[in-house]
Chains A and B, each alone.
Chain A
Amino acid sequence: MFFFTIRRVIASVFVLLASSFLVFALCAASFDPLSKYYTQNPRPPESFFENLREQLGLNDNFFVRYWNWLSGALTGNFGETINGTPVSEQLGGRLLVTGRMILLAIIIAVVLAVVVGVVGAVRQYKPSDYAFTFLAYLLIALPTFWFAAILKEFVAGGVNDVFGKQVLFTIGEETPGLSLYASGWELWSDRLGHLVLPTVSLALLSFAAWSRFQRSAMLDVLGSDYMRLARAKGLPYRRVVMKHGLRNALIPLTTVVALGIGTLFGGAVITEQVFVWHGMGEYLIQNGIGQNDINVVLGWLLVSAVFVVVFNLVADVLYAVLDPRIRLS
């Protein structure tokens, strides 16, 4: 087990390195940090561009540029934005904002998917199963932003009416300026109110596909011989389903969830746009791609790649923990 984990960690490091190279190649081909000067009127003299190119190291060989960026990134320095501020500082703060949404969404989606999937499998072809199936199909077929707009429109308004004050917020990740003077409970309850709707809209879309998956995995397990044996030797039904059934049915879901992290990162970009969050998504779209800022996009892509690779690693290890039959060698 220990050596298995070590070997997987080392393999993941290599995957990340290769991924960073691919990402760098994509960005180097896509973005020109000087583009904002090309359209300036009057156009700056050619010597100005030459100086900038020399200063930013754009004249270097591609591999040299990659090495310069990578060695910086390894020490936590993602370079500077085109406005001259360090990327890593901004990225860190925004990662915290987006991270709390994504993590919470994963937790909600997994718990709901397992519960709904198991209920759907145990009560197969009962009304509750049909209801959940219908709901899942509906959610899978919805674009994130349309669903989020409905949440904003009906859920937020309805809940706020019930409480008689603004409980759920539809814009921003916190009340602007609140973090300057408030702290502790006041700040975090405000953030929680802002967090609910984006998280729900992000979570429900992943939940839909995952619950279908969990249902079929559970159905597979429920039909197997060892379940009948466990019942035959007199174990109570609940215990059979939970200990013998669920534990085995969770194994396929770990992989699916780990692979879904990338999709969640992409979905978070849209959710942030809908709810006007100042997180990673806005950073990518506005500061990165909007301003042709290669370092911002590179930093973003590297962070998301780290998340995806780490979650794949966790899934591999969890896989081995949940299923002792997996050969570790």
Chain B
Amino acid sequence: MATTQAAAEAALPSEPGAPIGGGVEREFTVKARSQRQQIVRRFVRNKVGMTGLVVFVLLLAFGFLGPLLYTTDYATQNSGAQSVPPGSQGYPLGSDAIGRDLLAGLMQGVQRSMLIVLLFVVIALPLGLLVGALAGYFGRWVDSVLMRFVDLILTVPLLVVLIVVASNFPSSRTPLGVGIILGLFGWLDLARIVRSQFLSLREKEYVEAAHALGASNSRIIFKHLIPNALGSLIVWTTLAAATAIILEASLTYLGFGVNGANQTSLGRLVSDGVQATTTRPWLFYFPGITLLVIVLSINLIGDGIRDAFDPSNRRVRA
């Protein structure tokens, strides 16, 4: 705010009567920064958030570029090297009970988990945005109906709803299926957040002005309200992505996630490894730590973005 004001003043001549922009030497040159630039700057200067981003990018590179360098295929089973410890027989991180390479498995697991997160966000974000926007913008009975519906679904633990739904579709034990199911039920808290944002934003003067100029409802929602609620949306997306990874792991552990034959995800690797805590610790620690680091880095990015959007640091995830 202050910078833009200063910039506006700087554009005026420093002495009355002097020609504008006529090569006057100014003592202070102030460059205007848009809101977006300020947010990006705040994020880039946030050490914790940037650490998260760097770690996350490294993990993405590990998952997606790694297979180009390390060409062993995870699906290859080697009956001659079952459960070998890390570093032996050419397995850098060891192998599992049927002789599959754990390092290749981790790379594939990161890929699949990212697919799940992507599906989850692509489905849940528009759904939650739509429901929350309708409820918050139109208010009255639309609000009551939609929000009571959301409240009702929330009376049952999300994990259990997911289990019951997933039990209906035995063919959905793939990353694709799990991502879709997570997305279809993961938008409830987003709807609440968007609604409360819209409730306060729609009372603002600029919305009234847009109304007075004859803007349609959809124009107000898409051009005025959503851009102003963007901060909450981005923060929700990152934090919910981290939750989605953990939920997938939990579902898989209970047998309702990525449990199909020849299906991989980080959650699958972790829940398989839990059986081998002492006997084959590499199967337990490597996937678990990879998952921990990926979720941690996403959470740190999310918190960094939240601080960048809202430096007063009032909003905290519950």
Contact = CB atoms under 8 A, between A and B. Distances in A.
Given A143-B270, A265-B157, A266-B160, A259 B242 contact: no
Contacts, number: 133
Contact of A26 (B151, B164, B255): B164
Contact of A216 (B163, B255, B299, B313): B313
A140 B292 CA distance: 9
A213 interface: yes
Contacts of A137: 296, 299-300
A273 B254 contact: yes
A140 to B, nearest CB: 6
B317 interface: yes
Interface stretch (A51-59, A89-97, A232-240, A301-309): A301-309
Interface stretch (A42-50, A146-154, A172-180, A191-199): A146-154
Contact of B153 (A22, A256, A285, A289): A22
Given A141-B242, A273-B253, A263 B152 contact: no
Interface residues of A, number: 52
A83 B31 CA distance: 77
B76 interface: no
Contacts of A19: 152, 155-156
B254 A269 contact: yes
Contact of A285 (B254, B270, B271): B254
Contact of A30 (B167, B250, B318): B167
B316 A212 contact: yes
Interface class of chain B by DSSP: helix
A289 B157 contact: no
B98 interface: no
B269 to A, nearest CB: 11
A288 to B, nearest CB: 9
Contacts of B161: 26
Interface in B72-109: none
B278 A138 contact: no
A297 B164 contact: yes
Given A145-B271, A149-B277, A262-B155, A289 B316 contact: no
Contacts of A79: none
Given A145-B271, A273-B254, A289 B167 contact: yes
B167 A146 contact: no
Given A26-B161, A153-B278, A262 B156 contact: yes
19 contacts: A15-B152, A22-B152, A30-B164, A30-B168, A137-B296, A138-B292, A143-B250, A143-B267, A145-B274, A209-B317, A209-B318, A213-B317, A263-B158, A265-B160, A266-B157, A266-B159, A273-B254, A285-B254, A305-B156
Given A22-B152, A209-B317, 19 more contacts: A22-B156, A30-B168, A143-B249, A143-B250, A143-B253, A145-B253, A152-B277, A213-B316, A217-B316, A259-B318, A262-B155, A263-B157, A266-B158, A266-B160, A267-B159, A269-B159, A270-B159, A305-B155, A308-B154
Nearest 7 pairs of A and B residues by beta carbon: A266-B159, A266-B157, A141-B295, A216-B316, A141-B296, A256-B318, A143-B249
